[in-house]
Chains A and B, each alone.
Chain A
Amino acid sequence: MAHQQTTADSAVPSARRGQDQGPRRPLRASDVIRKVSQVMGELLITAGIVLLLFVGWELWWTNVDANAKQTEAVQAFAQEFTGPVTPQNPAEPVDFGPPVVGTAPAYGETIGIMYIPRFGADYTRPIIEGTGSDVLDTLGLGRYESTSMPGALGNFAVAGHRQTHGAVLDNIHTLVPGDKIYVQTADGYYTYVFRNNQIVLPNRTDVLMPVPTQPGVTPKESILTMTSCNPRFGSQERIIAYSILESWRPASAGPPSEIAAQVAQAHGKA
């Protein structure tokens, strides 16, 4: 220990001596240029490292962060949910009448959960009210407040990131017509069937109309519209996925048997 201190102490004065000698020598222009370029070089290397760290943060860490927050939101919704989480009558298809349409919650509150088996058996994402960046950047799928609620005649539209912040719609281009998309709210389960997708420019707000891209037409169907950026890792365009409401089950009837395992898992009863 004592030996270490003496070497450290002796190192400090020698460094100081080196510094003191510098100014005594007449300062040449080349010295100044060398110093300035050295500092500039170190700053540029630092900027490069910071930019690489930013890329790592944006493409990796935001997903870790958002996935944790979304899991929390799903768990919070599951705790409030009162219905059974196993199908009550899986054998017989029953017509439960026209779907119940819930009222929109406050901005940033959870509407329900979306299950998309095509995106993986563990695709269980919360649906949140609003499409502000504070919602989309952490909680994933946000409902456009100007559109309908699930089950209503017209257009229920949600936005989600293709990359970063959970990348909730990263695989939106892999949907095949006929794929089921399940929306669970406090009222029940809405089963949508994917119809088609469309790639548009970002200013095409008509995709959010009650009948998408057809102004003034009275809706006869319930449509689910999902919007995300396109291409992947870019945002020059938007990819829009349209699905049509196929059936509805009240919460008391339990989940559709196709997603029973996933629902049970989301509600911590698997």
Chain B
Amino acid sequence: MYAWIFRNLPGPVWVRILTCLVLVAVALVLMVQFLFPWFSQFTTLTNSTIGLVQQP
């Protein structure tokens, strides 16, 4: 799958390597900004309140 994506990116090899790095960086930013905070609600590490007063 990743090999197929790399083959089908435009440009010479070094451009494709740069494109890949940019794509990985974009994926990381999206994960840290949106995916991880959303997923965090399903982990129980962060439950430190008592009873049902968790949410306002």
Chain A positions near chain B (C-beta within 8 angstroms): 4-5, 8-9, 11, 15, 19, 38-39, 42-43, 50, 53-54, 57-58, 61-62, 107, 130-133, 136-137, 144-146, 159-165, 169, 200, 202-205, 207-208, 227-229, 233-235, 238, 240
Chain B positions near chain A (C-beta within 8 angstroms): 1-2, 7, 12-14, 28, 31-32, 35-36, 39-41, 43-56
A92 to B46, CA, bound (A): 44
Contact: B53 with A58, CB < 8 Å? Answer: no
Name, among B1, B13, B49, the residue most crowded by chain A CB atoms within 10 Å (CB to CB).
B49
Contact: B1 with A42, CB < 8 Å? Answer: yes
Contact: B48 with A146, CB < 8 Å? Answer: no
Contact partner of B12 (CB less than 8 A), chosen from A8, A132, A205, is A8
Whether A144 contacts B53 in the complex (CB less than 8 A), given A4-B12, A11-B13, A54-B36, comes out as: yes
Q: What are some 28 contacts across the A-B interface (CB < 8 A)?
A: A4-B12, A4-B14, A9-B12, A19-B7, A38-B1, A42-B1, A50-B31, A53-B31, A54-B31, A54-B36, A58-B40, A132-B56, A133-B46, A133-B54, A144-B49, A144-B50, A145-B56, A159-B48, A161-B46, A162-B48, A164-B46, A165-B46, A205-B53, A208-B50, A227-B49, A227-B50, A229-B45, A234-B44
A95 to B25, CA, bound (A): 60
A235 to B48, CA, bound (A): 7
Besides A136-B49, A144-B49, A234-B44, 11 other A-B contacts (C-beta < 8 A): A38-B1, A53-B28, A58-B43, A58-B45, A202-B47, A202-B50, A202-B51, A204-B51, A205-B50, A208-B50, A234-B45
